[in-house]
Each structure stands twice: as structure tokens, then as C-alpha cells.
Amino acid sequence: MKRAELAKMIDHTLLKPESTAKDVEALIEEGAQLGTFSVCVSPNQLPIEVPEGLKVAVVCGFPSGAHIPEVKAAEARQSVELGAQEIDMVVNLKLVKEGKFDEVEADIRAVREASEGALLKVIIESAALTDEEIVACCKASEAAGADYVKTSTGFHPAGGASVHAVKLMRDTVGDRLGVKASGGIRDTKTALEMVAAGASRLGLSSSKAILAGMDD
């Protein structure tokens, strides 16, 4: 894989709560220089101006997912109105742990319906889940009309993406949905391992360092 190919799989990410508009401007400039697929930011940063070819992804219900569906839906709707082309929402982990996957699906569907026209990724926080819960979250995401399942917020103490979780997610959704690996991916080797395991998108804040390790 060449550097440009990997770059086109990257959501160049800045989600630190203290990030300023200047920080986001620097993120956009770097993303454009690196040729990443998108920049991923918090909803309070919108609206933002990006050069042609660079997409805007925005998180929703982040980072805990512990919001009622109506709040997530309202947040997603406003983000799309302010220019978000992709929404990265967090599942309700309480419902996941209680095995209430009909309600998990309904939560995702509320955001899906509120973000019409945008690509929807569902963050399942895989490091905090059992294999059975990972599979069930993927199935609920697909049933609710999501476009991608995503490993992690990068904020959970249980950790971020793992090769095992990415493989399991890819096996569950097949080629019907995308799989995004994010959280703790800080070097080229790890990034490529995630792609080999089935990731079709990567959420990275260390994009520049990771791409520097690739051949042209």
C-alpha cells in the first residue's frame, strides 16, 4: 500500500475538549497537505471551511454515548445543517451491557433518521465489550441503517482499537458496511495491521507520523 492510498482511509482527528478554532484550522491545513479523507471534529467547532476534496466528520453523543436518543438525534441534525458530511455517534453502552439490543438499534436509528444525507458511523467502544456484545452491536448498527461500525472513541479507559475487534467486526458486517478502527493507533505498523484485519477507515490524530512511515 502506498502513502496516498492509506491517507485516503484516514479521518484526521482532533477531539480534545480544549481545542480552539485555530487548532482546527491547523488540523484542516495538515489534513489537506497529507491528502486525508476527512477531518473529524467536535460539534462545537462547526461550521468549518475545508478545501475541496476534504470531508467533514463530526462526533455525536461523544464520548460516553450516555444520552437519550432525542438528544443524539438533535445534535446530529444540527451538525448536518452546519456542514457535517459524516456523523460518528456513540452507542448507549448501558443498553449494550443490559442486553437491550432492540433499544440499541432504536438509538442508532434515531440518529440515522436525523442525519439524512450524511454517512453514519457507530462507535461501539469495542475494548469495553465482550465478543458477543461486539457482534450484537454490529448487527444492531446494520439493522438501523448505519454505514460503518467503529471500534472506539479513544477516550475510554478500557482502551482503543484491536486487531481482534476489527476482524470480528469485519466478519460480522461482511462487505455490507465499512469498519473504522480508531483509538490508540499511533504508528505505521499498527495502522497497517488494522487495515489488514479489515478496517476500511482509520481515525487518527497521529496521521502525519503514521504516513511518514509509508513509501510513496
Determine contact, residues 73/109, Cβ cutoff 8 Å: no
Cα–Cα distance for residue pair 127/152, rounded to 1 Å = 7
Cα–Cα distance for residue pair 211/195, rounded to 1 Å = 14
Which of 88, 107, 121, 147 is catalytic? The answer is: 88
DSSP-derived pairing of the beta strands 148-150 and 10-13:
unpaired
Cα–Cα distance for residue pair 85/92, rounded to 1 Å = 22
List the grid coordinates of 60. 455525536
List the grid coordinates of 173. 458486517
Half-sphere exposure of 6 (CA within 13 A, CB side): 26
Cα–Cα distance for residue pair 116/138, rounded to 1 Å = 20
Which of 11, 121, 147, 150 is catalytic? The answer is: 150
Q: Which residue has the cell 467533514?
A: 56
Beta-bridge mates of residue 204? 12
Which of 11, 72, 121, 180 is catalytic? The answer is: 180
DSSP-derived pairing of the beta strands 119-123 and 38-41:
unpaired
Q: Is 180 a catalytic residue?
A: yes
Active-site residue set: 88, 150, 180
